[in-house]
Chain A
């Protein structure tokens, strides 16, 4: 696992760079280069694995069966590190403005990616726990990194308190599962080992469900999300809402698909469906009333989590495809819209008034990203929703769930298009806090065109699975 080790090493490198380097800008450059290296390492790892696979030497198990790699997980890592790369290019300038410890911020990002890679390849509940913690703790710090801002400190504290609460629940679930199954290996779970259903195991499953649901901000464990996403420095919100969330979903799906495969499908649909309905309802309905685009995006991320719950419900081959497409579509679009948001001074809807007149390029990219989030055809978001719904429909009794989700998707049009309306049909003088550089334009153009290209040919993302 070269990339996994590399994330830790890169993070330490960043930390030590922070001790000696004074120039803020160089941190961003350094981080971008390291991130590019990480992408390269991931691609290398994938190619290497396939080469070994061809000569039948590849072994999926690593570190004494603690990790399990396959094409799918490695490809996911490639995509996530690439998204992180674009993320740094796009918001690096804003990260420099958050506070004085720029090097540390980047180091924390690399630590988070370490957790991401653990979550995509874990084969053992201990690694799942480790991954979740490695992923979460840097987020607690990042969300409080704007120390002089009360909202940021508040966000950090709230996130930490509630995160600790959910960690306890996660551990409780792992303990119960271990007690019931006698193993941490997710491939060793059998809920009918004794002939009858193992009730303790099922209670463990419910605990795991709640804890992971907390991390992906599924209702009713979502309460931290709006406050934390709203309070955290905006560039970090973009990271937390996208790559982190998507990776936890990846782990979530793998747990249910590989670990809890032999649970009754009706039961899974009932329990997961309840959470999905609540998440979609609360996310979409509450987003309608928000005044700030940033806070609206926080609720929208809850709503999107409701859709991503469908991959957990599906837990089949289609869901695996849906996971990849949704991950990329959602991440790109959200990073893109945050990239635009970061340029603006005023985060309310009014701040977007007349943006199309003054900065047509920003408005265009924002519109493409918002349309993708809303799931308009010819954007990646459309196929993302399409795949996850198709995956869920393969499970019994999901029909009404899907109908409900579509109604909620219609509601989501309201708050996404409200931004587009503000940009194109209202007049105003939007103020930028940072000028749009050529680099920004290039990255935004890449993101915008990727959203459209994947909306036309989503199969490109499925090349490796």
Chain B
């Protein structure tokens, strides 16, 4: 099968030839464009140009400063618990069919869930004020 006819065949591996061609072209275009931007783009490396842009105001100090992430943590925790709670919907729908075994499984799920909750509270992740 090692000849160029496979490109024209419509079954077996030949049928994927267009995909391969497209893949190659895509790759080529991407790398070509990236290369071109590098080569063609004008480069003027002055000090002012390389400086971090801060609304035209001269920058002050280091950007790496510790800052409060309270809101971030709360948001993440919300997503976590939210997603976990979503599991109750399918359970509620199938409540009768799943019977006792299903109930115990969900109980275990809730227990683990509570473990996480207790941990989070004990860690003080939900305390807004320091």
Q: Does B16 contact A (CB under 8 A)?
A: yes
Q: Does A12 contact B (CB under 8 A)?
A: yes
Contact of B13 among A15, A150, A197 (CB under 8 A): A197
Instruction: Kindly list chain A residues whose C-beta atoms are within 8 Å of the C-beta of B13.
Output: 197, 199
Kindly state the interface size class of chain B when it binds its partner. 10 to 19
Q: Does A16 contact B (CB under 8 A)?
A: yes
Q: Does A19 contact B (CB under 8 A)?
A: yes
Give a binary string over A187-207; 1 marks a CB under 8 Å from any B CB, 0 the rest.
000000000110100000000
Cross-chain contact B122 with A12 (CB below 8 angstroms)? no
Closest residue of chain B to A8 (Cβ to Cβ) is B112
Cross-chain contact A16 with B119 (CB below 8 angstroms)? yes
Task: Please provide the chain A residues from 4 to 55 with a CB less than 8 Å away from any CB of chain B in the complex.
Answer: 12, 15-16, 19
Cross-chain contact B64 with A19 (CB below 8 angstroms)? no
Cross-chain contact B16 with A199 (CB below 8 angstroms)? yes
Contact of B122 among A19, A150, A197, A199 (CB under 8 A): A19
Give the distance to chain A from B91, nearest Cβ to Cβ, in Å.
19
Cross-chain contact B115 with A19 (CB below 8 angstroms)? no
Cross-chain contact B123 with A12 (CB below 8 angstroms)? no
Give the distance to chain A from B119, nearest Cβ to Cβ, in Å.
6
Give the distance to chain A from B77, nearest Cβ to Cβ, in Å.
15
A196-B12, A197-B13, A199-B13 are contacts. A15–B119 as well, Cβ < 8 Å? Answer: yes
Cross-chain contact B119 with A19 (CB below 8 angstroms)? yes
Give a binary string over B31-69; 1 marks a CB under 8 Å from any A CB, 0 the rest.
000000000000000000000000000000000100000
Task: Please provide the chain A residues from 155 to 179 with a CB less than 8 Å away from any CB of chain B in the complex.
Answer: none
Give the distance to chain B from A41, nearest Cβ to Cβ, in Å.
20
Instruction: Kindly list chain A residues whose C-beta atoms are within 8 Å of the C-beta of B112.
Output: 12
Cα distance A16–B115 in the bound complex, in angstroms? 9
Cα distance A199–B115 in the bound complex, in angstroms? 46
Chain A positions within 8 Å of B, measured between CB atoms, are: 12, 15-16, 19, 150, 196-197, 199
Q: List 16 A-B contacts (CB under 8 A).
A: A12-B112, A12-B115, A15-B119, A16-B115, A16-B118, A16-B119, A19-B119, A19-B122, A19-B123, A150-B64, A196-B11, A196-B12, A197-B12, A197-B13, A199-B13, A199-B16
| Known interface pairs A16-B119, A150-B64; 14 further A-B residue pairs with C-beta atoms within 8 A, sorted by A's residue number | A12-B112, A12-B115, A15-B119, A16-B115, A16-B118, A19-B119, A19-B122, A19-B123, A196-B11, A196-B12, A197-B12, A197-B13, A199-B13, A199-B16
